[in-house]
Chain A
């Protein structure tokens, strides 16, 4: 695909300098500046120039008087290819063309304005065409130019202000330097890991899942023990529970050990690079998330751009970037700042391995004995069977108490318990016998009562059993162990998500932020130098356009900053190791600022510098400028008979043939053309910031001669 054709630029050759320039890269348009005296000396040079096949047009600006003759001798070598504009000595003279006498007063436009206008390719072409049909292809130029620029003083001062604003610190910065979330969000997005967890099948995963499994099994075994099965399972059932607890405890310990190792290794790996990540992956950690450097560079660039456009100061951005970078760096380099969230896990595990004894005395069993007494009393009192029920109740109670207390550890003599049980039941039986009426309900009812009592006895025993086991269960640190285990797992997950998985990314981001901070610092330094070098007391008043102008300048300086940072962003995007060397940025910033100053000086503010892409502010500025510039519009209305600066001496005006003059109007492409009702030619739309009228007045034929050199 071929890019649209741009017109060839105009090559300028100034022969007035002692060294005659060599057109090594000839353009099709050549602007030659020479003095009238030296034209014949340079014949060979013109011949060479005309010989270049690329050259399609030459405009020769001959500067100087015509001597006593007075005849302008144009070089014959340029016949057919070039035209001559004769510019007299001195500043020129205001003249209205025609038969008017030259006016008095000072002039506004100079030869430099003429040369600047001729450097615009389209103006060059039009001049070439117009003068080409004039006698001897020679003319005297008259000029009126206006530049849609603000006063240079204002521009300098606003630039100073923009610079100051960009490098402001302290109180001055507070107005603009509101930290926004752009950089922070980049920071946050980098530290947010992907939800990756421990790898299945790895030692860490095994330990973790084993611990969880064992904990659940222990829990389940306790729950089972609390039922009838536990009550009647006697010692064996208790043993099973204890074994489960011990296994859970051991699993927890193992999990703790493995996880701690992993955590410690993560720290050490992140901080010191050892053990290598591979080993950690072996242990069960996922591979660290890959780094998308381009995306990161783009994100950082975008964040910095947004912050800068938003009006942040450079030191503010540098400071924030450095802080965030350091934060990321600290997160990886300081070993294990997070407290061991499962420090008590070992204690709980040990608690599981050796659980506390089951407590049956005194309250549970006491309650049971009380119930035993009561039931025995009722059995003798109400059954009407006399002392016989004792034969059932006493052994029953003895048996039940034995069941309940079978798992109880030593510390309480069973014989004593039995004795109390026997004594209490016997005593109550005796009391019952003593108080019994002579009521005999019949064997069936009596048996029923007895059975009911036996059921009560069994139920109350079961309840007591549940209570005993419940109490014991509460004492066993199973829940704590499970919680600690979960915390441990969480910590591992968190470490993976927050520190391990995004490790590469955050490392890259930290480096990137520090590099950016360094670059910004360099820019700040260069900007400060520029501020210091400026004349501090530039006084001026700001016109209407100052807001737009300030915007353009700020925008440009931001563009300068971004351009300085561009290699840094490229480096960030490139996956290569980043270097904190800001010397390069310093040099680049100096060059760019110098280039920018040069651009302002020569191409003008209105022209887009090469490193600025967004021309919005300039368009807005142009709109403001042209709107407010009445003289620009006036210039486009000028005709051959309008007052312009004729670039010749007042007495030379009589050498001009006033009625063949032509006017070339040109205006910046972004200017809205005023309606022009005179029949002059089209306005040439150019780049640049000038609007002008160039009057080309032919020179009377007898004062021009094409000089042919002889051998």
Chain B
């Protein structure tokens, strides 16, 4: 895979961390190869570790829950031992958890220390939720998450920004690596992917701040970044698993804030009103000890919403997001081949930027008048070969079969472990005990004559006795020292380089099935036997053999070399050796307590390790079945190319055969009849078993050691999958070959079955109804594995893959990753155009009216707990009211009930129009119900997304007084009445406010006051839009102009 652009991934909250982990894992798979060393080879001299990613890819994770980081560290690398490599590109924001354990404490502390920064959004303590401990998460309340963030920011924002700075610093220095990976030819810029869900507490609580903090750090580095928020919608979470009512409530408010920011980014108005904290009226965040942080315009141009379609699993959704990121970072901007590529390269910073931001209009207000068109949705279908999963299953079974085979002595020639037992003695520093050598004695000079020989022999026996005494004294010192240095672990490690763990167990503990006596006993038993009395050789007693049988010969002197004398000498030697053994045994027995402990400890370790392997073997079949059926499970949007359906069993056999052939071909120790046991032994090499034992020595659990060994096998399996020798067909065909073969290109070695399967999977790659939700124009990015752009392949893919029928723009891109990815992407949509967004907003508005006990609505926002209006900003409201007033001017509004405070109004646009808009209005006490007009409009807009409603809205928002550019109509009586009510209503509201002491109702009264005092005058003064040369600029002026000469007007 090639990387063309530096990328910073920021994962917020649990979802962000999980998606990030998946992304890292996938990138490692693509870049680092099966054993993690491919990049090491490519990046010669860069001191790369196995599984280390290039520093142009950086990852920052922020979460409140400490456990999530633990899980993250387990997921990003295949084995914890590679964590140091991951940590070079992974930065954890660990300091988010404040010192205080619970939210009430944090809130209290914030109120005390930094009231000016939090008063706007931190709700008062009444009814405050007792969320704690914060180290376990924010309890699905975003305000709690943000409060925790603020608490850690009391001393400055470095808690969050330091890891970001570090990551960006690494990216700064990564140009060289990037060049080696294929990119780095343009001015330094960076794609930033910020993933979070709007359902939980942490992610949706801190995303707003983090977007600003990221922008701030980049601004300080003075280079541009494009931030792409990747947002998981609440539908991704099942009820009770982070989803449900709470998630929908969180999402409503989060999406409003997010898209308000996006709108602001796309159509930023230069603020002019400077006050002591910053520029009022623009979106920004403020922290103690920091200047106001504001995002540079166009940094966050849109946000991707990912909702879960039917049948999609959450993990699949994560994989989809990962596929999206991979296809965006793995595609080059200038590979298009068309003439305009240079121009594109100059306009856009990266492929992602060009793909997402080109040819769209996001600054245009939405048809409903609520916000602009900044919303994007996306869904991704991908086809991959799950090499890692298949390798895992195959490796697990290989290991289990090998364990079963190695666990008992081979059936062929009898196993003899005696040499290893000898080695065990030597390596564990007790070799003298094996030999049990007596003290050497000086042999007396040979004499002749019976008497002389008898005397000499007697002397020799005495020498031997004294030798025994000497030995006794020696051993009293030597054996304790020997026991001190007795190290069975060393012997185990040494032998594990030569024999497998199971044979070692037999060497250590013996095995009943072995014929050789020493092998049957095993080292431990022999050591135990060295404690007891050695059996006396037949005919020997404690006393030395006497020279009783030695007699002179007739007419001949007895000679020293005579057989009788020799025999006696031999007996003496035998006796001496036996007695020496006794002394050894006694001395060894004296130290039994000490050496026995050492021996038992090692035996225990070896046995526990063996037991763990045996357990693995026992459970293997079940695991094989369940894992393979899991692999063959039907997924939506994620297509796996697998060995023939349901045939993992025969695939396993094929892998074994190929493995053996591979090793035989390599000229190793294996021959063609090698068993799985031999194979695994060859794969693990000299260090494999030893390393497993070392892990147990390090205090890891035996299960971890098993996992480690399995991982070694798995890497070998993956290497085998990737091995191409030109003779055999690869076990797992490469997608590129399959695609080429399917498109009818010559040269690719692909089996017919594989090809058939590929075609079938290709046809089902994008399931029906898979297009992202919303009504925006669909753009499709189709990445396919190919070295360069290939029109033939593209044609083939266009034919084979059933893409949504709508009029979509399809962009094909070759990538060097092992996947086919179809990114379906809609952009330029208003908030209400995406059904799920509309639903969550509606849910929120309903909840505002009927708040349930556990809703804690005020703790589900991050910028303010004043929920007067649902989705509109003051500008939106002025605009909507303006057009409604225009309709009133044109007499297109009819009233139900009293005109001063109607129960409902009906808006009918155009003559004889079929469609009308009915808005129920609600009075507040004695105040007029007109003030609730805009809330009613918000609710009406969110009701559904029928075309007719959209058209109606579009027409309404284009409404001007009839004939405003020619000869305007006379304003209707209703218009005048509404405009004229304002002073009286304001007086009434002020009187009411003056009487209020408590908080109840005040907020609503203030909202009413805002309507009459600000929104209405603002709407009246809003310039007409869509009219080239109006008579007057706005309604207010038009009304005054009309008032000056009423008779001239049309009635």
Q: Which residues of A contact B (CB under 8 A)?
A: 1-5, 7, 43, 47, 50-51, 53, 56, 76-77, 79-81, 133-138, 292, 294-295, 298, 673, 675-677, 679-683, 685, 698, 701, 704-711
Contact yes or no, B856 A135, CB < 8 A: no
Q: Which 8 A-B pairs have the closest CB atoms?
A: A135-B240, A2-B699, A136-B240, A80-B136, A701-B239, A51-B133, A709-B130, A711-B128
B511 to chain A, nearest CB (A): 17
User: 1/0 per residue B99-137: CB within 8 Å of A?
Assistant: 001101000000000000000000001111111110111
Given contacts A80-B65, A135-B241, contact A51 B135 (CB under 8 A): yes
Please name all residues of chain B whose beta carbon is closer than 8 Å to the beta carbon of A79 when the two chains form the complex: 136-137, 139-140
* Chain A residue nearest to B592 in the complex (CB): A298
Contact yes or no, A4 B608, CB < 8 A: yes
Contact yes or no, B131 A76, CB < 8 A: yes
Contact yes or no, B67 A708, CB < 8 A: no
Q: Which of A47, A135, A676 is the one whose CB lies under 8 Å from B102?
A: A47
Q: With A77-B132, A135-B240 given, can you name 11 additional A-B contacts, CB distance below 8 Å?
A: A1-B697, A2-B699, A3-B699, A7-B701, A47-B130, A51-B133, A77-B133, A79-B136, A679-B625, A682-B619, A701-B244
Residues of A contacting B: mostly: loop
B961 to chain A, nearest CB (A): 52
Please tell me if B629 contacts chain A, counting CB pairs below 8 Å: yes
Contact yes or no, A710 B127, CB < 8 A: yes
* Chain B residue nearest to A684 in the complex (CB): B619
Q: Which of B140, B589, B618 is the one whose CB lies under 8 Å from A673?
A: B618
Given contacts A136-B240, A710-B128, contact A47 B139 (CB under 8 A): no
Please tell me if B590 contacts chain A, counting CB pairs below 8 Å: yes
Contact yes or no, A701 B240, CB < 8 A: yes
Instruction: Give CA–CA (A200, B854) in the complex, Å.
Output: 103
Contact yes or no, B626 A708, CB < 8 A: no
16 contacts between A and B (CB under 8 A): A2-B699, A5-B701, A47-B130, A50-B136, A51-B135, A77-B133, A80-B65, A80-B137, A136-B241, A294-B590, A683-B622, A706-B854, A708-B141, A710-B130, A711-B125, A711-B130
Given contacts A47-B133, A77-B132, contact A680 B127 (CB under 8 A): no
Please name all residues of chain B whose beta carbon is closer than 8 Å to the beta carbon of A133 when the two chains form the complex: 241
Please tell me if B6 contacts chain A, counting CB pairs below 8 Å: no
* Chain B residue nearest to A675 in the complex (CB): B621
Please name all residues of chain A whose beta carbon is closer than 8 Å to the beta carbon of B625 when the two chains form the complex: 677, 679
Given contacts A679-B626, A701-B244, contact A708 B701 (CB under 8 A): no
* Chain B residue nearest to A73 in the complex (CB): B854
B393 to chain A, nearest CB (A): 13
Instruction: Give CA–CA (A298, B590) in the complex, Å.
Output: 10
Contact yes or no, A679 B629, CB < 8 A: yes
Contact yes or no, B701 A1, CB < 8 A: no
Please name all residues of chain B whose beta carbon is closer than 8 Å to the beta carbon of A704 when the two chains form the complex: 240
Instruction: Give CA–CA (A710, B102) in the complex, Å.
Output: 12
Given contacts A4-B702, A51-B133, A708-B129, contact A680 B240 (CB under 8 A): no
Contact yes or no, A1 B489, CB < 8 A: yes
* Chain A residue nearest to B619 in the complex (CB): A682
Contact yes or no, B601 A43, CB < 8 A: no
* Chain B residue nearest to A679 in the complex (CB): B626
Contact yes or no, A682 B240, CB < 8 A: no
Please name all residues of chain B whose beta carbon is closer than 8 Å to the beta carbon of A51 when the two chains form the complex: 101, 132-133, 135
Given contacts A673-B618, A682-B622, contact A708 B139 (CB under 8 A): yes
User: 1/0 per residue B674-697: CB within 8 Å of A?
Assistant: 000000000000000000000011
Please tell me if B605 contacts chain A, counting CB pairs below 8 Å: yes
Please tell me if B347 contacts chain A, counting CB pairs below 8 Å: no
Please name all residues of chain A whose beta carbon is closer than 8 Å to the beta carbon of B129 when the two chains form the complex: 76, 708-711
* Chain B residue nearest to A57 in the complex (CB): B67
Q: Which residues of B contact A (CB under 8 A)?
A: 65, 67, 101-102, 104, 125-133, 135-137, 139-141, 238-241, 244, 489, 589-590, 592, 601, 604-605, 608, 615, 618-619, 621-623, 625-626, 629, 696-702, 854, 856
In this complex, the member of A134, A704, A706 whose beta carbon has the largest number of chain B beta carbons within 10 angstroms is A706
Q: Which of B102, B136, B240 is the one whose CB lies under 8 Å from A81?
A: B136
Instruction: Give CA–CA (A2, B694) in the complex, Å.
Output: 11
Instruction: Give CA–CA (A673, B489) in the complex, Å.
Output: 32
A676 to chain B, nearest CB (A): 6
Instruction: Give CA–CA (A377, B570) in the complex, Å.
Output: 72
Instruction: Give CA–CA (A133, B962) in the complex, Å.
Output: 60
* Chain B residue nearest to A685 in the complex (CB): B615
Please name all residues of chain A whose beta carbon is closer than 8 Å to the beta carbon of B125 when the two chains form the complex: 711
Please name all residues of chain B whose beta carbon is closer than 8 Å to the beta carbon of A711 when the two chains form the complex: 104, 125-130
A298 to chain B, nearest CB (A): 8
In this complex, the member of A3, A5, A53, A136 whose beta carbon has the largest number of chain B beta carbons within 10 angstroms is A5
Instruction: Give CA–CA (A682, B623) in the complex, Å.
Output: 7
Q: Which of B67, B601, B618, B856 is the one whose CB lies under 8 Å from A3?
A: B601
Instruction: Give CA–CA (A705, B244) in the complex, Å.
Output: 11
Contact yes or no, A135 B238, CB < 8 A: yes
Please name all residues of chain A whose beta carbon is closer than 8 Å to the beta carbon of B619 when the two chains form the complex: 682-683
Instruction: Give CA–CA (A134, B702) in the complex, Å.
Output: 30
Contact yes or no, B240 A5, CB < 8 A: no
A501 to chain B, nearest CB (A): 15
Contact yes or no, A80 B67, CB < 8 A: yes
Instruction: Give CA–CA (A680, B622) in the complex, Å.
Output: 8
Contact yes or no, B854 A707, CB < 8 A: yes
Contact yes or no, A705 B601, CB < 8 A: no
Contact yes or no, B67 A56, CB < 8 A: yes
A518 to chain B, nearest CB (A): 25
B637 to chain A, nearest CB (A): 20
Please name all residues of chain A whose beta carbon is closer than 8 Å to the beta carbon of B67 when the two chains form the complex: 56, 80-81
In this complex, the member of A2, A7, A56, A675 whose beta carbon has the largest number of chain B beta carbons within 10 angstroms is A2
* Chain B residue nearest to A44 in the complex (CB): B130
Please name all residues of chain B whose beta carbon is closer than 8 Å to the beta carbon of A2 when the two chains form the complex: 697-699
B625 to chain A, nearest CB (A): 5
Instruction: Give CA–CA (A536, B677) in the complex, Å.
Output: 58
Instruction: Give CA–CA (A604, B67) in the complex, Å.
Output: 36
Contact yes or no, A4 B133, CB < 8 A: no
Instruction: Give CA–CA (A65, B101) in the complex, Å.
Output: 32
B946 to chain A, nearest CB (A): 30
A4 to chain B, nearest CB (A): 5
Contact yes or no, B699 A708, CB < 8 A: no
Please name all residues of chain B whose beta carbon is closer than 8 Å to the beta carbon of A1 when the two chains form the complex: 489, 601, 697
Instruction: Give CA–CA (A683, B854) in the complex, Å.
Output: 40
Please name all residues of chain B whose beta carbon is closer than 8 Å to the beta carbon of A77 when the two chains form the complex: 132-133
Instruction: Give CA–CA (A211, B141) in the complex, Å.
Output: 111
A72 to chain B, nearest CB (A): 11
Please name all residues of chain A whose beta carbon is closer than 8 Å to the beta carbon of B623 when the two chains form the complex: 682
B566 to chain A, nearest CB (A): 29
Given contacts A77-B133, A710-B128, contact A4 B626 (CB under 8 A): no
Instruction: Give CA–CA (A7, B625) in the complex, Å.
Output: 28
Please name all residues of chain A whose beta carbon is closer than 8 Å to the beta carbon of B615 when the two chains form the complex: 685
A703 to chain B, nearest CB (A): 10
* Chain A residue nearest to B246 in the complex (CB): A706
Instruction: Give CA–CA (A136, B141) in the complex, Å.
Output: 16
Instruction: Give CA–CA (A443, B248) in the complex, Å.
Output: 169
Contact yes or no, B240 A134, CB < 8 A: yes
A525 to chain B, nearest CB (A): 31
Instruction: Give CA–CA (A88, B855) in the complex, Å.
Output: 28
Contact yes or no, A676 B854, CB < 8 A: no
Please name all residues of chain A whose beta carbon is closer than 8 Å to the beta carbon of B626 when the two chains form the complex: 679-682
Please name all residues of chain B whose beta carbon is closer than 8 Å to the beta carbon of A701 when the two chains form the complex: 239-240, 244
Please name all residues of chain B whose beta carbon is closer than 8 Å to the beta carbon of A53 when the two chains form the complex: 135
Instruction: Give CA–CA (A134, B618) in the complex, Å.
Output: 29
Instruction: Give CA–CA (A698, B240) in the complex, Å.
Output: 10
Please name all residues of chain B whose beta carbon is closer than 8 Å to the beta carbon of A294 when the two chains form the complex: 590
Contact yes or no, A4 B604, CB < 8 A: yes
Please name all residues of chain A whose beta carbon is closer than 8 Å to the beta carbon of B132 when the two chains form the complex: 47, 50-51, 77
Contact yes or no, B130 A295, CB < 8 A: no
In this complex, the member of B128, B130, B489, B619 whose beta carbon has the largest number of chain A beta carbons within 10 angstroms is B130
Please name all residues of chain B whose beta carbon is closer than 8 Å to the beta carbon of A3 when the two chains form the complex: 601, 604, 699
Please name all residues of chain B whose beta carbon is closer than 8 Å to the beta carbon of A679 when the two chains form the complex: 622, 625-626, 629
